[in-house]
Amino acid sequence: MKKIVLFFVLFFVPFFVPLTLLHAEEIKSFDASIAIGKDGSFTVSEQILYDFGSAEKHGIFRTIPHEKVNSDGKRFLMDIGSLSVVDGEEKPYDFTKSTDGKKIELKIGDPNTLITGEHAYVIRYTVRGGLTYFSDHDELYWQVTGTQWQVPMQAVSVAITLPEAIEESSVRMTCYTGSSDSSNSDCTTSYAKNLITVSSNQPISPGEGVTAVVGFPKNIVAVLE
């Protein structure tokens, strides 16, 4: 009986241990930059270092917000244009774009090729109609990462450039972490000249994200109706 038990243990361990050592999927880093223009539009660049680990996949999905709600509760579509996706060496990726009205979904990768391990994705686009205009200030409210990722993000950062240098006392900075309606702020903001930086303090769980909010004085950017 002892021999049978010993055989079972020796047989089971080699099959069990590798499963615990499997390298799970994750986003190593999500670094975004947003440049707000005088014309009221802004450009976005997202540098995503995605680690597929031991999984074999064709690529990734990236969801970008398309619908916006203004301060009066009115819903309208933002103009998302100049979309491009390249790797870390500026080589283009194959991708397809679809929309359901509220969001744009990018399916990035070659459907005929399986990949694994770490891969860099650089997604760039422009946004018109993405700012919100209040009576005393204008504001960028942007869900930087989205909350559709099904893998954790180890680190998130965003650099937001204003069209001109503004006194820090005139700039309002807030950031949120968690689900789309979360009020958690496990993140840090800083300001120097015309550059706002936001960074997460902890890894971001699947289904959660990072949102940046920047308010600045009127008459810095054009009002887009």
pLDDT tens digit sequence for 3-26: 444 333 334 334 444 444 456 899
pLDDT tens digit sequence for 173-223: 999 999 888 889 999 999 998 999 999 999 999 999 999 999 999 999 999
| DSSP state, residue 146 | -
Closest CA to 124 of 225, 40, 19, 43: 43
pLDDT tens digit sequence for 75-132: 788 999 999 999 999 999 999 999 887 889 999 999 999 999 999 999 999 999 999 9
The reported pTM is 0.86
Q: Residue 119 pairs with which residues in a beta bridge?
A: 50
Helix, strand counts (H, E) of the chain = 1, 16
Distance CA 198, CA 155 (A): 11
Which residue's entry shows tokens 């504001």?
139
Could you tell me the two tokens for 53? 């680990």
Could you tell me the two tokens for 67? 């619908």
Residue 35, φ and ψ in degrees, nearest 5: -115, 115
For residue 171, pLDDT beyond 60 = yes
